[in-house]
Structure 1
Amino acid sequence: MSNLESYQNELIEQAMSVGALKFGSFVLKSGRVSPYFINAGLMNTGPILATLADAYANTVAGAFPEDKVPFDVLFGPAYKGIPFAAVTALALHTQHKRDVGFAYDRKEAKDHGEGGKTVGAPLAGRRVLVLDDVMTSGKAVREAIGTVQAAGGEVVGVVQLLDREEIGQGDARRSTVTEIEELVGAGRVRAILQMRDLMAWLESKGMSKELAEMRDYRDKYGLKA
């Protein structure tokens, strides 16, 4: 397994320290019983937000360079995606000298004041990069893409906190990432961490029991070649 970037190691370790990343037995929305679970809502302190911002910004800057895949707005789906978009916009400015707006949606459209379903930078006619937490079946990110498109924006890519690298909703030979890339473009779905990165980290820490459970899960639900 390849070596992890420093920001990946730091993010995993900080997520473990605050209980946002756990290893054990967890029933997912899909009904699958997973040996690990990540709750991005627990990443709610200054130190881990700083690490998260750095990780998102580095991933975005590397995967979506300004001269090849430009974008105007970061979109964070409500609710967990909202702070992701805000801190990443800040980190892109301070660390990478890229100035972009950020926006997010409401769970229900507002019918007074400024109205509408989205808040922040306007989306109409803009190129939008969606930030999200965890992709399993891809249902949530599909909804986010639909929200951006309904507001007149063009989704040029997706960056997630964790790609579970699991089979998608249909053909077991196709991953969720492949399915979403059919909506936004080949190579335009990226992640800070993948399941293989968590496995590499477990291996480096000598956590053999957890690693074996991860391998079993990957054999059952991972993308089949």
Structure 2
Amino acid sequence: MQTYKQELITFLIKTGALSVFDSPENDRSLKSKRLSPWFVNMGEFNDGESTSVLGNVYAGAIADSEINFDSLYGIPEKGVALAIATSIGLISRGVNAPWFFTRKDEKTHGEASNLPSNERAKKLIVGRVPKQGDNIIQLDDVFTAGDAKYEARTELESFGKFNYPLLVIAVDRQEVGTNASGISAIDEYESKTGTKVISVVTASDVYTYLKERTLISPRALERLENYLRVYGNKKLKETVGKLEQTIIGRNRSVIPACDVSSIEEFDRLVEQTSVIDGVGAYKVGFGLGLRYGLPKVVEVARKHTDKPIIYDHQKAATDIPDTGRDFAELNKEAGVDAVILFPQAGPETERAWIYHALDNRLKVIVGGRMTHPAYAVSEGGFITDEGALDIYRIAASIGVRDFVVPGNKPDVIRQVKETVESEGVINPRFYAPGFITQGGKISDAALAAGEYFHGIVGRGIYQSGDVRDATLEHCSQL
């Protein structure tokens, strides 16, 4: 890592401008509405020493870019001080760079008195007015949605024809955009404008620096890693490393879906099946959870087994992103091990609910297609086939490798398998309902899924005459 990068990160920590939080209570809401456990406040660089450091590190980034330029432009408001500080920082590198910024209102007195309309730039520009055709480097502190950058560029273009080869910011959070494509705001800006965006440091730099020097607590590091895996771009995710989660310790199993009507029936079901080797976990839904309270349901199961308890809210993650935090906290408090999410409310809901689940140390299983007829558009339903696949894609890009698929639709299972593997998931784990009353066969679904498969069976077990024998029979089909 270059010296100027280390200098900035060190100073971010020294001034308190960089924070990584142990507790969700301190998380910061970003302009994107994401709740972040890490935050950089460049407003803490507000004295001579810190401004000097900032100018030097910006100068270092510009020098490393090897881009020829004629002047520096500070995007109002925070970019104003940056332009001056960077100009001073470049002097030590043998470069005497002009700087300027723009006013909110035209100046009408002093040197601006009686200027003709064709010299409007002199009324609005403070610093050295650029010449036609100049290469202008733009400076700002951060890049979120990019609105200020587009507006500043439009204003400069009203003064004449200039070239904009480079935009320099302090910290690139390396986050994906809010849409399904995952394209970042910076990538979009570069594509639309042709301007290259560089940062003094990236989230990868910050993460690596903090981890190597053990500068934050293990819990803060864990929370940071979860956030970066969910919201980071591909390069950042490679730096942080893959998400590691194992829900069931065997490759294939049967998961009883415990949609029974009473806690006593649930108690008997778990007691009679918990010693069966082929049972991998228990899935409970809102019926028992709402009637008896989820903590009570988990408590009853724990009398007989330590196998994972998977909560399926039927269907969770169909609300706004923020509600994922409460959902995850309640499941964690109840003692649940994993949650099933069907994030049909959009990409940001999916990312937020996955993040909050991981932040609460819950394992995550994501679904996009269901077993019943007329669900997807191709079946006469509402949800587009491609939209459902996007749900799987986003989860896979985060590193999730556990997926709910319809067990009565082997072709869909194969399609989902191909989709998540194309996102880099190795050995995806599939959890499939849709047997008995919905016509699916465990053996067919398992064949389509491959090596890792868990059949979810409800009425075929709890409505049978003998719960234990029915479970053993389903296990034999794996």
Q: Same fold (TM over 0.5)?
A: yes
- The answer to which structure, 1 or 2, has the higher relative contact order (CA under 8 A, 6+ apart) is 1
Match of 1:101 in 2: 98
Match of 2:63 in 1: 61
Is the partner of 2:100 in helix, strand or coil? strand
Q: CA distance change for structure 1 residues 102 and 170 in 2, over 3 Å: closer, same or farther?
A: farther
State which structure, 1 or 2, has the greater radius of gyration over its C-alpha atoms. Answer: 2
Q: Displacement of 1:160 after TM fit?
A: 0.6
Q: CA distance change for structure 1 residues 216 and 172 in 2, over 3 Å: closer, same or farther?
A: farther
Q: 2:198 aligned with 1:190, yes or no?
A: yes
**Alignment match of 1:110 (pick from 99, 106, 110):** 106
**2:127 aligned partner, one-letter code:** G
Q: Displacement of 1:184 after TM fit?
A: 4.0
**Alignment match of 1:149 (pick from 132, 157, 168):** 157
2:98, 2:180 → 1: CA distance?
37
Q: 2:220 aligned with 1:210, yes or no?
A: yes
Query: How many residues end up aligned between the 2 structures?
Result: 215
Match of 2:472 in 1: none
Q: CA distance change for structure 1 residues 164 and 210 in 2, over 3 Å: closer, same or farther?
A: same
Consecutive unaligned residues of structure 1, counting only runs of 5 or more, are: none
Q: Displacement of 1:209 after TM fit?
A: 2.3
Match of 1:177 in 2: 186
1:198, 1:168 → 2: CA distance?
20
Match of 2:31 in 1: 29
The Cα RMSD (Å) is 2.1
Residues 131 and 159 in structure 1, CA contact (< 8 A), matched pair in contact too: yes
Match of 2:232 in 1: 222
- Between 50-59 and 13-22, report the one with greater CA deviation: 13-22
Match of 2:248 in 1: none
Is the partner of 1:133 in helix, strand or coil? coil
Structure with bigger strand share is 1
Residues 73 and 100 in structure 1, CA contact (< 8 A), matched pair in contact too: yes
1:16, 1:119 → 2: CA distance?
33
Q: Deviations over 1:6-58 (max 9, x none)?
A: 22222222222222222221111221111122221220122222221111111
Q: 2:145 aligned with 1:137, yes or no?
A: yes
- Between 43-52 and 116-125, report the one with greater CA deviation: 116-125
Residues 20 and 224 in structure 2, CA contact (< 8 A), matched pair in contact too: no
- Between 121-130 and 177-186, report the one with greater CA deviation: 177-186
**TM-score, normalised with respect to structure 1:** 0.86
2:87, 2:44 → 1: CA distance?
20
Q: 2:50 aligned with 1:40, yes or no?
A: no
Match of 1:74 in 2: 72
Q: Displacement of 1:190 after TM fit?
A: 0.6
**TM-score, normalised with respect to structure 2:** 0.42
